[in-house]
């Protein structure tokens, strides 16, 4: 079928191939149209880096060949040699997807040679583009003489209507259905060198920036509005909550015209997104961990879904273990020196797979969730997917026995013993365990029925419906019979967020400062972008989790309001600009160097794509009674004339300061503005203005500077003669509204007063034991509290000269 379509395509492009022939033969003079930004789109066209970026065309399953480097080069040290060709299309290929554009003209050059002794005296070769499916177009042709390098040299224009999302260039001999009947004529070896395709530079990748306000001011769900994140796993360490998430933004590709992305493709995802917060409303974006894929921490894995993390002291060192699903087939773990890395792989193969004892019949060996018990014993919960077909349909539906519990050994990167069945009713995926008051809670997501689960079946009374979060309570982390089932703790998210928000879910539970919290996902940001027609891009949410006196869980209600802010935000320090409660129109990107706030091991991001009218905001910032004197931003100007307005409470609230981003364009610099009238607790909006249509600047971090706190005091000093000796007297009146400590210090002695009442004086007359003293100074040190903050004010007072007699 594909071959037939392919043959038809050949016919339509015969004329173009002829033009190519004429160009190659030199009948047409004059250079191809040259554009200012012309670029060679081919990587390693001279094969001087061996076969890097080249592979054998595999557009049809019958295509196949051996590709190797040869020193018989047209130029340089290397060329490519293709042998053992199984079809006429079996030849060297390079992927130009995303580089070539419809309607553009390109100049193609290449050198080709064949020399098989039994081959024909001359042979035609094609340069061909595979546009995906059965669509092939011959671009250029050349007829080579045996044993001599021939040259492709001509232009081709990609038709304006051609879809180019797949565009793979390869070299071949003219098509015939059964080349094996005359391999000397059709399947000869050939060599290739000096390939170039020159034309318009590749288009910039379409913007992924989310332009809508995805998290509405005042609301706390979804946690972030500038990117997606699914399967969130909440983890508490050192006073912060970290959320590790499947990077749903990785394959998000909104059409530049319609703004609508194709539906999510989990196969695109090999990164884990990390955010953290100390207050559960203002979240810091720590970017993505490149977990899997050729450049990943664990390159022997291809995907990184549904992370779970825990920490343990191993060989005296606290380490962080991040587990993830390598697609549906296996699970793995990487090791962090901190919750933010750096990350390494202690394994060279997956942790959970078909040879894990007790997991052989688990269809999907994914969704690994770690749990370390109070006694230090670690466990891993994993698994899901269709149940064994050997089960009766009703059992297959209600008790699929598709999830497992297994012990980890002390290394945390290997299992020990045999996995035990978790008999969670209607189970599908997303197992997770936490412990409360000596009992273990296993939660999970239920399946959606259908043929994989026994066809048309009904859940047993009390069992979950599709896509709900159920839970079990057990006294033993390895024992989960169906009798431990305790109910549904969260219905499907579409019950709360409406049309377009259904689908799968994945939960976790964490305890933070005495309260329990429940994490789940919902495509609410996707819904704010596209309305009720969502494409499956999920966002993290958190709700508080409450328990009944008997330890059962009160069913969670999903809301946009989310959870209360745990504490006010402290502005008097350097904090990352990629921290915000709400935002509009911005994106973030990782930059070289470490985080000013989180230290050398932590990645650093900057806020980018800042246009006129964009903003970021912080929730409940506490400036204290005395307030802030100034704000400083580390910025990189990208155009002249950018400004940052600091506003209170809303994006259109009063401007309390304006930062002129007047640093040299392209260089990082600190810019500061004085602030006026900023005290107490406020939401803070940084609103960005400047020339329209250009990126204004990037921001790395912020800091606010507190107004200097002083204790008010009135000080005097005098000298007089008493009984033939000079006495120096120092007095300090407490003008503060609360008692203060005062010390009076002179060269002739010191005296301290512990608690001087408001309006009262500290006074001491020091005997100098001299008949005459020169002028000098006395020091008055006042200690007290202003707005709950300890303050010391030091004043120096002039002490006049004094003399007796004379
Ligand atoms: Ca070469
Ligand atoms: Ca923007
Ligand atoms: Ca930063």
Measured CA to CA in angstroms, residue 25 lies from 139, 177, 375, 573 at distances of 15, 28, 80, 71
For ligand 1, the distance from its centroid to the CA atom of residue 293, given in whole angstroms, is 29
For ligand 3, the distance from its centroid to the CA atom of residue 18, given in whole angstroms, is 57
Q: Give residues with Cβ within 8 angstroms of 61, minimum separation 6.
A: none
For ligand 3, the distance from its centroid to the CA atom of residue 265, given in whole angstroms, is 30
Measured CA to CA, the distance from residue 629 to residue 647 in angstroms comes to: 14
Environment of ion ligand 2 (residues, CB < 5 A): 585, 609, 611, 614
For ligand 3, the distance from its centroid to the CA atom of residue 335, given in whole angstroms, is 24
Mean pLDDT along residues 448-464: 93
Grade residue 806 by pLDDT with cuts at 50, 70 and 90. Answer: low
Ligand nearest to the CA of 210: 2
Measured CA to CA, the distance from residue 159 to residue 102 in angstroms comes to: 6
The pLDDT value recorded for residue 97 is 87
Grade residue 15 by pLDDT with cuts at 50, 70 and 90. Answer: very low
Measured CA to CA, the distance from residue 590 to residue 111 in angstroms comes to: 41
Ligand nearest to the CA of 592: 3
The pLDDT value recorded for residue 596 is 96
Which tokens hold the place of 501? 């928000």
Which tokens hold the place of 486? 């305790």
The pLDDT value recorded for residue 20 is 37
Ligand nearest to the CA of 193: 1
Ligand nearest to the CA of 45: 1
Q: Are 155 and 108 in contact (CB under 8 A)?
A: yes
612-670 confidence digits (pLDDT tens): 999 999 999 999 988 999 999 999 999 999 999 999 999 999 999 999 999 999 999 99
For ligand 3, the distance from its centroid to the CA atom of residue 607, given in whole angstroms, is 7
CA angle (200 as vertex; 197, 206 as ends), nearest 5: 115
Q: How many CA atoms lie within 13 A of 276 on its CB side?
A: 20
Q: Are 365 and 329 in contact (CB under 8 A)?
A: yes
- Distance from first CA to last CA of the chain, Å, rounded? 124
Mean pLDDT along residues 738-756: 96
For ligand 2, the distance from its centroid to the CA atom of residue 578, given in whole angstroms, is 14
Helix 14-25 and helix 2-12, axial crossing angle in degrees, nearest 10:
60
Mean pLDDT along residues 391-407: 97
Mean pLDDT along residues 597-615: 96
For ligand 2, the distance from its centroid to the CA atom of residue 481, given in whole angstroms, is 52
Residue closest to 356 by CA, chosen among 416, 401, 442, 302: 416
Q: Which of 4-8, 678-682, 800-804 has the lowest mean pLDDT?
A: 4-8
Ligand nearest to the CA of 72: 1
Measured CA to CA, the distance from residue 715 to residue 793 in angstroms comes to: 12
Q: What is the sign, positive or negative, of the torsion defined by CA atoms of 185, 187, 191, 195?
A: positive
Measured CA to CA, the distance from residue 481 to residue 232 in angstroms comes to: 27
Specify the higher pLDDT residue, 216 or 3.
216
Q: Are 683 and 581 in contact (CB under 8 A)?
A: yes
Ligand nearest to the CA of 574: 3
pLDDT value at 5 more than 90: no
Grade residue 789 by pLDDT with cuts at 50, 70 and 90. Answer: confident
Ligand nearest to the CA of 579: 3
Neighbours of 493 (CB within 10 A): 24
Q: Are 201 and 39 in contact (CB under 8 A)?
A: yes
Q: Are 319 and 412 in contact (CB under 8 A)?
A: yes
Radius of gyration of the chain from its Cα atoms, rounded to whole angstroms:
36
Ligand nearest to the CA of 607: 3
For ligand 1, the distance from its centroid to the CA atom of residue 520, given in whole angstroms, is 54
Mean pLDDT along residues 136-156: 97
For ligand 3, the distance from its centroid to the CA atom of residue 244, given in whole angstroms, is 19
pLDDT value at 318 more than 80: yes
What DSSP designation does 708 have? P
Measured CA to CA in angstroms, residue 615 lies from 93, 276, 527, 580, 660 at distances of 46, 20, 21, 10, 15
For ligand 3, the distance from its centroid to the CA atom of residue 704, given in whole angstroms, is 15
Specify the higher pLDDT residue, 301 or 5.
301
For ligand 1, the distance from its centroid to the CA atom of residue 113, given in whole angstroms, is 13
The pLDDT value recorded for residue 12 is 33
What's the mean pLDDT when you consider all of the chain? 93
DSSP per position, 244-308: EEE-TTTT----TTT-PPPPP-GGG--EEEEEEESSSSSEEEEEEEE-SSTTSSSTT----EEEE
Q: Which of 58-72, 263-277, 579-593, 785-799 has the lowest mean pLDDT?
A: 785-799
pLDDT value at 294 more than 90: no
The pLDDT value recorded for residue 37 is 67
C-alpha dihedral, 562 to 563 to 564 to 567, nearest 10°:
-120
Residue closest to 662 by CA, chosen among 697, 695, 630, 686: 697
pLDDT value at 32 more than 50: no
pLDDT value at 24 more than 60: no
Q: Are 654 and 680 in contact (CB under 8 A)?
A: no
What DSSP designation does 179 have? G
Q: Are 208 and 254 in contact (CB under 8 A)?
A: yes
Mean pLDDT along residues 10-39: 43
Mean pLDDT along residues 106-127: 97
CA angle (380 as vertex; 450, 360 as ends), nearest 5: 55
pLDDT value at 107 more than 50: yes
For ligand 3, the distance from its centroid to the CA atom of residue 633, given in whole angstroms, is 10
Measured CA to CA, the distance from residue 343 to residue 335 in angstroms comes to: 5
Specify the higher pLDDT residue, 31 or 774.
774
Q: Are 675 and 656 in contact (CB under 8 A)?
A: yes
For ligand 1, the distance from its centroid to the CA atom of residue 160, given in whole angstroms, is 33
Mean pLDDT along residues 596-606: 94
pLDDT value at 543 more than 50: yes
332-379 confidence digits (pLDDT tens): 999 999 999 999 999 999 999 999 999 999 999 999 999 999 999 999
For ligand 2, the distance from its centroid to the CA atom of residue 210, given in whole angstroms, is 8
Quote the pTM value: 0.75
506-516 confidence digits (pLDDT tens): 999 999 999 99
For ligand 2, the distance from its centroid to the CA atom of residue 699, given in whole angstroms, is 13
Q: Are 646 and 680 in contact (CB under 8 A)?
A: no
pLDDT value at 517 more than 90: yes
680-691 confidence digits (pLDDT tens): 999 999 999 999
Mean pLDDT along residues 384-402: 95
Q: Mind telling me the catalytic residues?
A: 231, 429
């Amino acid at each position: 079928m594909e071959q037939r379509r392919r043959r038809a395509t050949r016919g339509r492009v015969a004329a173009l191939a002829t033009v190519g022939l004429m160009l190659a033969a030199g009948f047409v003079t004059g250079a191809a149209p040259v554009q200012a930004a012309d670029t060679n789109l081919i990587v390693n066209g001279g094969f001087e880096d061996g076969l890097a970026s080249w592979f054998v065309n595999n557009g049809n399953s019958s295509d196949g060949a051996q590709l190797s480097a040869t020193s018989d080069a047209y130029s340089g040290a290397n060329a490519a040699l293709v042998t053992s060709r199984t079809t006429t299309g079996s030849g060297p290929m390079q992927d130009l997807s995303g580089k070539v554009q419809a309607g553009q003209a390109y100049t193609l050059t290449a050198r080709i040679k064949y020399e098989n002794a039994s081959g024909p005296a001359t042979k035609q070769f094609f340069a061909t583009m595979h546009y995906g499916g059965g669509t092939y177009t011959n671009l250029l042709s050349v007829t080579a003489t045996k044993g001599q390098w021939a040259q492709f040299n001509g232009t081709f224009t990609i038709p304006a209507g051609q879809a180019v999302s797949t565009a793979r260039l390869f070299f071949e001999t003219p098509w015939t259905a059964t080349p094996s009947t005359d391999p000397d004529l059709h399947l000869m070896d050939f060599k290739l060198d000096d390939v170039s395709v020159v034309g318009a530079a590749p288009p910039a990748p379409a913007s992924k920036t989310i332009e809508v306000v995805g998290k509405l001011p005042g609301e706390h769900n979804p946690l972030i509005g500038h990117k997606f994140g699914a399967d969130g796993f909440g983890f508490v360490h050192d006073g912060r909550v970290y959320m590790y998430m499947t990077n749903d933004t990785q394959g998000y590709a909104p059409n530049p015209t319609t703004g609508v992305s194709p539906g999510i493709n989990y196969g695109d995802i090999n990164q884990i997104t990390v955010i953290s917060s100390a207050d559960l409303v203002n979240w810091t974006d720590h970017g993505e961990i490149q977990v899997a894929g050729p450049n990943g921490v664990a390159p022997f894995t291809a995907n990184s879904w549904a992370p779970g993390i825990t920490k343990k002291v191993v060989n005296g060192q606290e380490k962080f273990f991040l587990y993830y699903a390598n697609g549906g087939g296996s699970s793995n773990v990487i090791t962090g020196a901190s919750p933010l890395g750096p990350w390494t792989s202690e394994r060279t193969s997956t942790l959970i797979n078909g040879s894990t004892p007790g997991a052989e019949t688990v269809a999907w060996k994914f969704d690994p969730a770690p749990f370390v018990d109070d006694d230090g014993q670690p466990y891993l919960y994993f698994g899901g997917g269709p149940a064994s077909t050997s089960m009766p349909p009703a059992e297959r539906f209600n008790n699929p026995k598709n999830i497992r519990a297994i012990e980890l050994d002390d290394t945390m990167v290997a299992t020990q013993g045999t996995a035990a069945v978790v008999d969670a009713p209607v189970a599908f995926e997303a197992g997770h365990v936490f412990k409360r008051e000596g009992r273990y809670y296993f939660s999970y997501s239920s399946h959606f029925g259908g043929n994989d689960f026994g066809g048309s079946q009904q859940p047993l009374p009390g069992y979950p419906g599709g896509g709900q979060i159920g839970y079990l309570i057990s006294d033993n982390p390895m024992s989960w019979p169906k009798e431990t089932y305790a109910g549904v703790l969260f219905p499907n998210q579409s019950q709360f967020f409406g049309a377009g928000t259904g689908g799968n879910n994945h939960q976790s539970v964490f305890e933070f400062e005495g309260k329990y919290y429940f994490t789940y996902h919902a495509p609410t940001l996707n819904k704010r972008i596209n309305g009720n027609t969502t494409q499956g891009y999920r966002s993290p949410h958190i709700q508080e989790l409450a328990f009944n006196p008997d330890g059962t869980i009160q069913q969670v209600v999903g809301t946009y309001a989310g959870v209360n802010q745990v504490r006010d935000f402290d502005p008097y320090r350097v904090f990352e600009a990629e921290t915000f409660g709400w935002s509009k129109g911005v994106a973030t990107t990782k930059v070289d160097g470490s985080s000013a706030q989180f230290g050398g091991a932590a990645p650093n991001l900057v806020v980018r794509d800042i246009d006129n009218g964009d903003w970021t905001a912080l929730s409940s910032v506490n400036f204290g009674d005395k307030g802030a004197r100034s704000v400083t931003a580390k910025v990189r100007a990208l155009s002249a004339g950018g400004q940052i307005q600091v506003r209170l409470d809303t994006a259109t609230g009063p401007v309390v300061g304006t930062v002129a981003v007047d640093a040299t364009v392209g260089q990082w610099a600190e810019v500061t503005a004085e602030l006026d009238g900023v005290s107490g607790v406020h939401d803070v909006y940084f609103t960005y203005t400047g020339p329209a249509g250009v990126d204004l600047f990037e921001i790395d971090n912020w800091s606010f500077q507190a107004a200097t706190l002083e204790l008010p005091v009135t000080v005097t000093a005098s000298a007089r003669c008493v009984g033939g000796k000079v006495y120096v007297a120092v007095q300090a009146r407490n003008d503060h509204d609360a008692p203060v400590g005062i010390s009076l210090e002179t060269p002739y002695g010191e005296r301290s007063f512990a608690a001087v009442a408001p309006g009262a004086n500290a006074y001491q007359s020091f005997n100098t034991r001299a008949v005459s003293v020169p002028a000098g100074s006395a020091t008055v040190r006042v200690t007290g509290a202003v707005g709950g903050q300890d303050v010391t004010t030091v004043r120096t007072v002039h002490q006049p000269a004094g003399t007796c007699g004379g």
